[in-house]
Amino acid sequence: MDKGSEGFVYRLYNVALTRDAEAAGLTDWNNKLTSKKQTAAEVAQGIFFSAEFQNKNYSDVQCVKFLYRTMFGREADEAGLRGWIEKLDSGMSREFVFRGFAESQEFDNLCNSYNINRGTVTLGQYRDKNEGATGYVSRLYTKMLGRKYEDAGIEYWCREYLTGKVTIENIATNGFLHSQEFKNLNLSNEEFVTRMYRTFLNRDPDEAGYKDWVGKLNSGAKTRDDLVYGFSLSQEFSNLKKSYGL
């Protein structure tokens, strides 16, 4: 196959979509490259986020492996694969991961072999603007609600935070702690204390602290909001926020 722009497009079809390119698609994408209306990164983005590729419903692991094969021309190394999956698990989008591949030296080398311009990728989602904020919000889903985030939810909270509408503390309390979903968990005081230690202090409770808080909640001396407020002002929570760059 030609090592020019047409060969590059044909390769995208062959590796990413696992089929030969149809004449119309090959011509259309090649024209975009040769006319410089789109760069190699943009064309690859169009293929990876096409309805055809999305309808295959690949898992995150499968998707990243396809990126390695398509963008780098090799199989994924274990450390690299693990690193990208961790980013996806922490709330970053597949577009964010794609950009990491598209703006890499390895993809640049591939593009040079076809004598085409690599280009860059523009991201539009709030969840992709601040890895720390996204990771923190993702953590609230897993630690407080006990489940993985949904795309719409993590995008909503990242937008609220990054546009200055809410603070990190507001998200944790009004957004999650007081949500109907959390209330529906019907946690006992014992379960609640343990979950709040893990959420706000990033550790299991120490025996003394656990007994103290459970006792105060059971007697009514303190409310659940009192516990969360105290934890939110603690040095441990401050250190946790700092670890996310917040």
CA gap 192, 216 in Å, rounded: 13
The string of pLDDT tens digits covering residues 97-125 is 999 999 999 999 999 999 999 999 999 99
The whole-number pLDDT of residue 82 equals 97
The pLDDT of residue 64 is above 80? yes
pLDDT, the chain, mean:
94
b/e 58-79 (16+ beta carbons within 10 angstroms → b): eeeeebbbbbbebbbeeebeee
Determine the average pLDDT of the residues in 131-151: 95
pLDDT of 2 > 90? The answer is: no
d(CA 187, CA 185): 6
From the list 163, 203, 144, 197, the residue with the least C-alpha distance to 136 is 144
Distance from C-alpha of 69 to C-alpha of 218, rounded to nearest angstrom: 57
Question: What are the phi and psi torsion angles at 205 (to 5°)?
Answer: -70, 145
With contact defined as beta carbons under 8 Å apart, do 129 and 161 qualify?
A: no
State the Cα–Cα distance between residues 211 and 24, nearest whole angstrom. 70
| 4 or 16, which is more confident | 16
| DSSP secondary structure string for all residues of 201-218 | ISSPPPHHHHHHHHHHHH
Q: Check whether 196 has a pLDDT greater than 60.
A: yes
Query: In 3D, which of 49, 84, 41, 44 has the Cα closest to residue 65?
Result: 84
- Residue 89 zone, left/alpha/beta (φ > 0; ψ -120 to 50; rest): alpha
Per-residue confidence (pLDDT) for residue 1, from 0 to 100: 47
Is-contact 7 42, C-beta < 8 A? Answer: no
Q: pTM for this one?
A: 0.88
Instruction: Give the CA count within 13 Å in the CB-facing half-sphere of 201.
Output: 19
Tokens of 169: 């503390």
Q: Which residues are CB-contacts of 242 (< 8 A; sequence separation ≥ 6)?
A: none
CB within 8 Å of 109: residues ≥ 6 apart? none
188 Rama class: left (phi>0) / alpha (psi -120 to 50) / beta: beta
Name residue, tokens 């983005």: 45
Residue 28: pLDDT band (50, 70, 90) is very high
Q: Could you give the CA distance from residue 237 to residue 230 in angstroms, rounded to a whole number?
A: 10
Tokens of 58: 């690949």
Summarize the confidence of residues 49-78 as an average pLDDT: 96
**Alpha helix stretches (DSSP H) within 17-58:** 23-34, 40-48, 51-54
